[in-house]
Amino acid sequence: MHKLLTDQPGARMVLLGNEAITRGALEAGVAVTAAYPGTPSSEISLNFFQMAQECDLYFEWSTNEKVALEVVAAAANCGVRSMCMMKHVGLNVAADALMTLAYVGVKAGLVVLTADDPFMFSSQNEQDNRYYGKLSGLPVLEPSSVEEAKEMVAFAFELSETLQEPVLFRTTTRINHSTAPVTLGPISPRKTKGYFKKDPMNYVTVPAVSRMLHVKLLKHDETARELSENSPYNVVTGSGKWGIVCSGVSYAYVLDALADLHIQDRVQVLRIGFSHPLPEKKVAAFLASCEKVLVAEEGEPVLEEGIRSIAQAAGLTLPIRGKGEGLFSRLYEFDPAMVRRVVAGYFNVPYTPKAPVAVNDIPPLPQRPPNLCAGCSHRATFYAVKQAAQGKDVIYPTDIGCYTLGFLPPLGMGDFLICMGGSTSTPCGFSKATDQKVVSFIGDSTFFHSGMTGLANAVFNNHNFTLIILDNGITAMTGHQPNPGVDMSLFQLSGYGRISIQEVVKALGVKHISVIKPYKVRKSIETIREALDYQGVSVVISEEMCTLFSKSLKRLKARPFMVSDKCRNHRDCVNLLGCPAFTLENDRVKIDPTICVGCAVCAQICPENAIVPLKSS
C-alpha cells in the first residue's frame, strides 16, 4: 500500500513537504486531481498518480497546467473536491483559466497549488506568485513549515467552499523539498461523483454575465478579508515595541533569529499565513503597538507594500522597512544567518556572526554541473545536428527539459530559451528578422505541452526553420512522468490513448518530415542535412528512449565499450561528446564500464576506430 494511504490517525511519519501536502489533501477528501509535472511540485502529482492506482481517487497527467486547471475547475463545479498543482511558471500557462474561473467560482473545494522557486534551483525565473492573488482576487495561503502545510491544505478546501472560490496555495522550494515528522490525521471519505447543475447565467462568461460575476467576486473578496482578519493563520506571537511581519519559511528564520539574539521579549511577530486579502485591522492594530517594523519576506515586497498602505490609511507613520540596502533583497532565497543579521542591524542589537573558515587559499575547483547522462540520446542528436550544420551560421533556440543541458560545452547547442514551447515560435521571429539558419529543439512532452500551436503558426505563416523533436518517450527531467506520446503499457496501465508525434506533425501541415534513430550517427547526419536544406518548415523526429527510463524499466542491457590501444589520443570522443563515462588517466582517455551503457556513438566518431565493445576485447 502507498505509505500516504496509511489509515492510522495519530501516527507520526517523516514526510517530505510535498508528501505532507498530498496527505493533507487526501485527509480533506480530495477526489479529482490533475497536474503537469514541474519542480519543486513534482512529487505531489507523482504521489497522486501512484495512489490513484490503489483507490478511487482520480488523478491525471494533463498536457499542460492550463488543461489541468480546467479539468479540476469543471470537477469542482460538479461538487467534487479537486486540486491541481504546478510550479510557479506553470501558473502563467494556467493564468487565462484562473482569471475568469475566479469570476465563475466553484461549488466544491478547489485548491490550486503553485510551487515558487526562490533562487531558481530548477527554474527559469523566480517570479513571486503571491501577485496572482491580487491579480485574480483569489485568496492566498502560505505555509511556514512541512507540518503546517499538511494542516493548511485541508483548511484550503474548507476556505474554498466557504468562499465558493478556488484558493491559491503558495509554497516555496524550502517547503516542498523539506522533511519533518508529521502527525497523520483521519482520511475523510471521498465524494468522487457529483452533478453539474446547469446555470448558464452564472457559468457562461459573456460580457453581460461577467459584469455580474465581477460584482460577486468582489463580494467574495470582502468575505475573504473578514476571514483573514480572524484566521488563526494570521497570528501575533511575543511582545515588545519592535515588530516583525513575515510569511512562509521566513517565519522560521525570524523565530530562530529572535532566540539566537535573545530578543524574544522585545519583538512581537505577526506571521501572515492567509496572505491575500491581508487582515487590515489586525495589521493596523499590530502596527499601532509597535515603534518600528521590519517585514521579512522572500521575493517581492508584496507584504511590505500592503502593510505600508494599511499604515497610510490608518494614519500611522512608524518606520516600516523590508527590502532595501542593508535590509532584505528581492533576489534569491533567505537563510537563517542573513535574517539574523538583518534583524540585528535593523533593531540595532549587538551581534557577532559565527565566522566561516577562510576559503581564499582553496584553488579554483573543477565545476560539477549536471550533465546529460551517459548514453543519452539527446547528446547523439545534438552531435548529429552540429555535424549536419557545419559551415552554416545557425541559431539554436531550445526548450525546457533535460536537453536544455545541451547548451553547456562541449556540445554548446542552445542559444535562446524563455519558456515551455517557445522553441516552436521563437524560430518564426528569428528566421524573419535574420538571414541566419534556425534549428530549434523541443522534447516530446514539451511539444504536447505547448509546442503544437507554435508549429501550426510556423506552417500557416510559411516560416523557414528546422524543428528537431527529441522524442525520448517520457517526461524525463521531472522524473519520468507520462505524456500523451507515451506507451502506458510500460507502466502496466491500460485504458489510455497514445498520440503519434509524427502524425501530429503531418496533420499540422509540415511538408518535410523525417525520423532518425540518433545512435545511428552517419545516417542521422545525412537525414538532418536534407532537412536543413529544405526551404520552409522541416521537422526531424529523433526517436530513442531515455536511457535512465530504460534502465528503470530494466530494458537496458548495458554493453560497455572500451578504448583500445589503437587510440591515438585525438580525443574527438571527449571533446565533441563530453559523455560522463569518459575519464582521463595519465592523460589517456578511458571509459568507465560502470557508467557506459553502450550507445556506441563515440565508437562511430573515433577516427581510429579505437573504441570497441569491452566484451569482444
Partner 1 sequence: MSDTTRLIIVAVGGQGNLLASSVLGEAALMSGIPFRMSEIHGMAQRGGVVESAMVFGNAQSNLISDGEADVLVGFEPLETLRAMNKCNPDTVVITNVTPLPPFTVAIGKGVYPPIDTILELIRGKVRTLISLDATALAQQAGNILAVNMVLLGALAQSGILPLNAEAIRKAIGAKTKPAFLDANLKAFDLGVQAAK
Q: Which residues bind partner 1 (CB under 8 A)?
A: 12, 14, 39-40, 121-122, 145-146, 173-174, 177-181, 251-253, 255-256, 260, 335-338, 353-359, 361-373, 402, 405, 409-410, 548, 574-575, 578-580, 582-584, 589
Distance of alpha carbon 153 from alpha carbon 175, whole angstroms: 13
Q: Is 345 helix (H, G, I), strand (E, B) or coil?
A: helix
Question: Rounded to the nearest whole angstrom, what is the least distance from the CB of residue 194 to partner 1 in the complex?
Answer: 37
**Least separation in angstroms between CB 178 and partner 1:** 4
Nearest approach in angstroms of CB 548 to partner 1 is 6
The total of other beta-carbon atoms located within 10 Å of residue 29's CB is 19
Residue with smaller CB distance to partner 1, 458 or 589 = 589
User: At its nearest, how many Å lie between partner 1 and the CB of residue 581?
Assistant: 9
- Could you tell me which residues are beta bridge partners of residue 172? 116
Give me the least distance between CB of 354 and partner 1, in Å please.
5
The strand pair at 292-296 and 320-321 is best described as: parallel
**In terms of CB distance, is 244 or 402 closer to partner 1?**
402
CA distances from 139 to 216, 219, 342 (A): 14, 13, 30
Least distance between partner 1 and beta carbon 103 (Å): 36
Q: How far is the CB of 405 from partner 1 (least distance, A)?
A: 7
Residues facing residue 540 across a β-bridge: 468, 514
> Is the Cβ of residue 536 or residue 580 nearer to partner 1 in the bound state?
580
Q: Which of residues 255 and 600 has its CB atom nearest to partner 1 in the complex?
A: 255
Taking Cα atoms as reference points, which of 138, 135, 43, 129 lies closest to residue 90? 129
Helix ranges (H only) for 347-433 are 377-388, 422-433
* CA end-to-end distance (rounded Å), the chain: 47
Considering only CA atoms, which of 253, 244, 305 is closest in space to residue 118? Answer: 253
User: In terms of CB distance, is 91 or 402 closer to partner 1?
Assistant: 402
Q: Which residues pair with 140 in a beta bridge?
A: 168, 276
Q: Decide whether 356 or 391 has the Cβ nearer to partner 1.
A: 356
Please list, in sequence order, all residues whose beta carbon lies within 8 angstroms of the beta carbon of residue 220, skipping any fewer than 6 positions away: 105, 137, 163, 164, 165
Q: What region, left, alpha or beta, does residue 494 occupy, with left being phi > 0 and alpha being psi -120 to 50 degrees?
A: beta
- CA–CA dist 267, 254 (Å, integer): 10
CB 38 within 8 A of CB 173: no
Which residue number, 58 or 334, has a Cβ lying nearer to partner 1? 334
Grid coordinates of 529: 542535412
Q: Which three cell numbers stand for residue 216?
A: 460577486
Q: Quote the least distance from Cβ 129 to partner 1, whole Å.
A: 19
Nearer to partner 1, 358 or 433 (CB): 358
CB of 260 to partner 1, least distance (A): 6
In the complex with partner 1, the residue whose CB is nearer, 36 or 430, is: 36
